[in-house]
Structure formats: structure tokens, C-alpha cells
């Protein structure tokens, strides 16, 4: 998937983030078995599948619409690629259900795709008017509208501060309470931006960015799912298998960094990235949404 960043340069084009680095750290073997745990539009999956001969790829995503796009993109690989609807938090169950062998490499890109942002029916973007939904999977019961219109002021403020790292969270929560009911993404964006002081600066982000990110992360239980994924992923890999995780939020990166450090201390893995790998200037020029991406990788030890 692409980055979580949201700005006025939305384009419905799927650009896989840090693609060269993902392939490099996975060290794709032509005969190997790989899992793209968050396939999205299929960008990373496509690059992996192109390098396989006798090997196979399991491409998983919880978003049925994203999976349909990935299916079109990966159809040319035939039986070499198996697509599966599911939440990467259940990576062990999905692997067993697919009867997929232990993986030589697993990649999880935690970002939001350009396709999701551009879809007016999803409510992910403050630039595109649509219902306040934000569910990656329609099976999820709670929508962003449910949180915005029924959570208490304190719950809203805490959520926006925790996941959005928004220092004006209390002011935003008060404004939301006064403006209820709020039904559309653009209406919420207006309420949020009016509630906070302008942020002057050359690289100023949209005032609603952090609030929208916080709501999306809460609706989809993104941090909790990552924690479950990290707790279950090592057993699905071969003794020398590699894991690559791309995060876009400090909570995601912190969770990944701590898990990798603990595994290293237990001598279960070898760190391939002592420091997080960031996109270069060339990539940022082509895909500004990649700006917050951080890649970390490990190799499982026998």
C-alpha cells in the first residue's frame, strides 16, 4: 500500500512505497515462498511475483475492494499467486487455511493506499466528500461516524491525541461536540480546521490530517492488529526467513522497533536495519505521501 499521508495532491495511482528496499531486504529467491500480508493494490506483490519461478506468493488484504484491484494486477501470474481476504493480525490462521508453506519472506506495509483515499464512498480523505466510514473492511461494525457522533468529548480528545498526536485534541473534541451530527468527511474537516490555529510553514500539512488519521486507526484497530501480527508472524517463517514492516505512524514504528529489539535480545532474529530506512528524495518527489514511511527488517535465526 501507499502512505498514510493526506494532502491536496491525491491521485488514484497505486505507488508501492520503498519498493526497491522491500525487494532488497526480502532477498527474493526465485524458488521461495512469500507472503504480502497487506497487499493493497498489489504493488509489492507484483514486484515479488516477477522474481519467482518455482516459488509462490500469498497476497492478503482485509479490504475487498483493494483485493479486487490486486487480483487484476496479479492475474498474469496465474497459480504462482494466491489472493486471500483476511486480517494480517491472523497471519498464522491465514497461512494454515491457505495450506501455504513456511515463508522465506513476509512484508507488511501499514499505509493507506491512494485508491482508498480517492474513493468518495470510503470517507478516508478530507479532500473528497463522502460518508464518514473509514472502514478497511465492511465487516467492521463501528464507523468513523459512530465515533464522531456518539463518543464522549473526553473519549474523542484522548483518541485524537493518542493516535493523531494532535496537540489541539481537546479543542477539536469540543468543536465536534458542538457541531454534531456530522455526516460527511468534508464537513468534519471543516469543523476540525476551524477549531485549531493555522500552522504557518512551507511544509504545512492540512489541519485535519491528524484527526482523520486518528479516527481511521481507531475504526480499524490498526495498532492492535499490528501487535497481534508481530506476536504471530515468526512461526509462519522459515528458519532464515525475512520480515519487512513499513510503518507510517510513531505508534506503529515504536511497536515494531520494540518487538524487533526483544527478538534480537532473545537471539531469535538478526537486525537488518539498525536504523529505520526512509524514502529518498527521488521517491518523495514522485510520491509525497511516502514522507512518513519507515522501513524495518529482520532475518529469523535458526
pLDDT digits (tens, 9 = 90+) for 84-97: 999 999 999 999 99
Return d(Cα 286, Cα 146) in angstroms, integer: 36
More confident residue, 123 or 278: 278
Q: Which of 105-114, 164-173, 293-302 has the lowest mean pLDDT?
A: 105-114
Q: Which of 197, 193, 155 is nearest to 173 (CA)?
A: 155
Q: Which of 298, 170, 280, 249 is nearest to 6 (CA)?
A: 249
pLDDT at 69 over 80: yes
Listed by start position, the domains of the chain span 19-115+222-300, 141-219
More confident residue, 202 or 120: 120
pLDDT at 1 over 60: no
Domain 19-115+222-300, architecture per CATH: 3-Layer(aba) Sandwich (3.40)
| Arithmetic mean of pLDDT over the chain | 92
- To 5 degrees, how large is the angle CA 10–CA 88–CA 52? 85
- Quote the pTM value: 0.91
Helical spans, DSSP H, in the chain: 19-26, 43-49, 64-74, 91-97, 114-118, 144-150, 153-164, 169-179, 185-195, 209-219, 222-232, 250-265, 281-286
The CATH number of 141-219, from 1.10.150.170, 3.30.70.600, 3.30.565.10, 3.40.50.300, is 1.10.150.170
pLDDT at 31: 98
Proportion of the chain above pLDDT 90, given as a percent: 84
What average pLDDT does this structure show over 123-138?
92
pLDDT digits (tens, 9 = 90+) for 245-297: 999 999 999 999 999 999 999 999 999 999 999 999 999 999 887 899 999 99
pLDDT digits (tens, 9 = 90+) for 196-238: 987 665 456 889 999 999 999 999 999 999 999 999 999 999 9
Q: Name every residue whose Cβ is closer than 8 Å to that of residue 117 and which is 6 or more positions away in sequence.
A: 6, 10, 124, 125, 127, 128
What average pLDDT does this structure show over 136-157?
97
Return d(Cα 159, Cα 169) in angstroms, integer: 8
pLDDT at 202: 43
Residue 103 · residue 236 · CB < 8 Å: yes
Band (pLDDT 50/70/90 cuts) for residue 49 is very high
pLDDT at 25: 98
| Strand 237-247 relative to strand 294-300, pairing | antiparallel
pLDDT at 114 over 80: no
More confident residue, 285 or 118: 285
How far are the Cα atoms of 112, 196, 279, 296 from residue 293, in angstroms, in the given order?
11, 26, 7, 10
Return d(Cα 185, Cα 122) in angstroms, integer: 9
Amino acid at each position: 500500500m501507499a502512505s498514510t499521508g493526506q494532502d491536496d495532491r491525491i491521485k488514484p495511482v497505486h505507488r508501492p512505497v520503498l519498493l526497491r528496499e522491500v525487494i532488497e531486504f526480502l532477498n527474493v529467491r526465485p524458488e521461495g515462498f512469500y507472503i504480502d500480508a497487506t497487499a493493497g493494490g498489489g504493488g509489492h506483490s507484483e514486484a515479488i511475483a516477477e522474481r519467482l519461478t518455482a516459488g509462490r506468493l500469498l497476497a492478503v488484504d482485509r479490504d475487498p475492494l483493494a483485493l479486487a484491484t490486486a487480483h487484476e494486477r496479479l492475474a498474469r501470474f496465474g497459480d504462482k499467486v494466491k489472493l486471500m481476504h483476511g486480517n494480517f493480525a491472523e497471519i498464522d490462521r491465514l497461512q494454515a487455511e491457505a495450506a501455504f508453506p513456511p515463508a522465506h519472506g513476509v512484508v507488511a506495509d501499514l499505509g493507506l493506499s491512494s485508491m482508498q483515499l480517492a474513493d468518495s464512498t470510503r470517507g478516508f480523505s478530507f479532500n473528497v466528500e463522502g460518508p464518514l466510514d473509514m472502514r478497511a473492511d465492511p465487516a467492521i461494525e463501528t464507523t468513523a461516524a459512530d465515533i464522531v457522533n456518539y463518543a464522549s468529548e473526553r473519549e474523542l480528545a484522548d483518541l485524537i491525541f493518542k493516535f493523531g498526536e494532535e496537540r489541539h485534541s481537546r479543542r477539536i473534541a469540543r468543536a465536534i461536540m458542538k457541531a454534531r451530527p456530522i455526516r460527511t468527511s468534508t464537513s468534519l474537516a471543516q469543523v476540525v480546521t476551524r477549531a485549531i490555529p493555522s500552522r504557518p510553514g512551507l511544509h504545512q500539512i492540512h489541519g485535519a490530517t491528524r484527526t482523520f488519521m486518528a479516527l481511521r486507526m481507531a475504526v480499524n484497530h490498526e495498532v492492535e492488529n499490528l501487535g497481534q501480527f508481530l506476536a504471530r508472524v515468526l512461526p509462519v517463517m522459515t528458519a532464515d526467513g525475512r520480515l519487512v514492516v513499513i510503518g507510517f505512524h510513531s505508534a506503529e514504528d515504536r511497536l515494531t522497533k520494540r518487538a524487533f529489539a526483544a527478538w534480537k535480545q532473545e537471539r531469535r532474529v538478526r537486525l537488518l536495519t539498525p536504523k529505520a530506512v526512509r524514502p529518498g528524495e527521488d521517491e518523495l518527489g514522485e510520491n509525497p505521501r511516502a514522507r512518513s514511511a519507515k522501513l524495518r527488517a529482520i532475518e529469523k535465526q535458526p
